[in-house]
Amino acid sequence: MSTTNQHLFRRTTTTLSDGRELIYFDDSATPPRREAADLRGLTAVEHGGELRWDARVGQWVALAAHRSGRPHLPGDGDNPLAPTRAGRSTEIPADDYDVVVFENRFPSFAGLPGDETVLDGEPLWPRRPAAGRCEVLCFSPDPAASLGDLGPSRMRTVIEAWADRTRELARLAGVAQVFCFENRGAEVGVTLPHPHGQIYAYPFLPPDTVAVLEQSRRHRATTGRNLLDDLLAAELRSGRRIVAEGEHWVAYVPAAARWPVELEIAPRRHVPDLCALTDSERAELAEFYPGLLRRLDRFFTGADGAPLPLPYVSAWHQAPVHVGRDEFRLHLRLFSVRRAADKIKYLAGSESAMGVWITDTTPEAIADRLRELAP
């Protein structure tokens, strides 16, 4: 390893038997990877997903009926994200790995952009292929591990993989935004418990990004300043919901948090995406983020007093590829559906039908609890 903040790692690209790309990201201290071919003899899958325009709210909806056949909570012997062993081939041909990324066999978005047509001859219903790309990122070969368990060197390799894939996917034709995220826990719908995240290359701007950009433009027109910069500055001035601070990163509970547990992590410096982070910012994040995940895993305790691993969705919000890059600011938003040790928050009619959120706690109470858990 270098004595500076630069992280050395090995990147090896190969293909699976059906033509999908797979990339190993190995820590510099590991030995050279042995060549390992995918011997499963898979045939290429025709996905045929499509996008349909919901004119009522002005949003694209992705139809991906082929995903109904994807693995669902397989047993230990059928874990597709484990390394390949004698007599058991998986999505990862090697018998060991550090961090690995591969194209999802059951993607929501895949392929190149195509022509737009209309459904049933009605111009109110535009439709087009669900172009783009979906990838799976495995954080560890250990099925019992978690992202919070990773040491700084391995976490840094994960960060390098996020940045690498953001850079490469942003170059694909038709990609509007790259989204790196992790779903963790059966309570948020995870169907493969092995520690992993996903990366989506969207062919359109998602509704959340559209809303942020619209608000940012209004704020700019009114004040001449950047909205997301001003929000971070306001949280720092208040200090009431700040959970942790480093030289380069700040963690806080947003003033209008919606979920029973919610946390935002942002760099102090204005950067558009993960690719733009400096070596020093990446090095600090590799310790800062797992430390916060370990706190979150102690947020709730069971009847026996033991910590309950927190189910969560952790989402990197990055600037769009082509528009709004000066207005958008890199940040991570993590939230959990668990509202008590034995209770889950389900979206009721107000949230799911009307988009009006009603929370069962306060952002200040969430921040107080997370500060209590500081090592």
Of 312, 284, 288, 316, which is closest to residue 299 (Cα–Cα)? Answer: 312
Identify any residues that bridge with 242 across adjacent strands, giving them in sequence order: 252
Reference 262, options 287, 216, 317, 299; nearest CA is 299
Region for 307 from its dihedrals, namely left if φ exceeds 0, alpha if ψ lies in -120 to 50, beta otherwise? beta
Catalytic residue among 7, 47, 194, 196: 196
Residue pair 232/266 in contact (Cβ under 8 Å)? The answer is yes
Q: Is 196 a catalytic residue?
A: yes
Nearest to 103 by CA among 203, 166, 19: 19
- Contacts with 216 (C-beta within 8 Å, 6 or more apart), sequence order: 226, 227, 228, 324, 327, 328
Q: 């209309």: which residue's tokens?
A: 118
Question: Please, how many CA atoms are within 13 Å of residue 37, restricted to the half-sphere of its CB?
Answer: 5
Structure token pair of residue 63: 């139809």
- CB-based contact 312:185 (threshold 8 Å): yes
Positions annotated as catalytic residues are 196
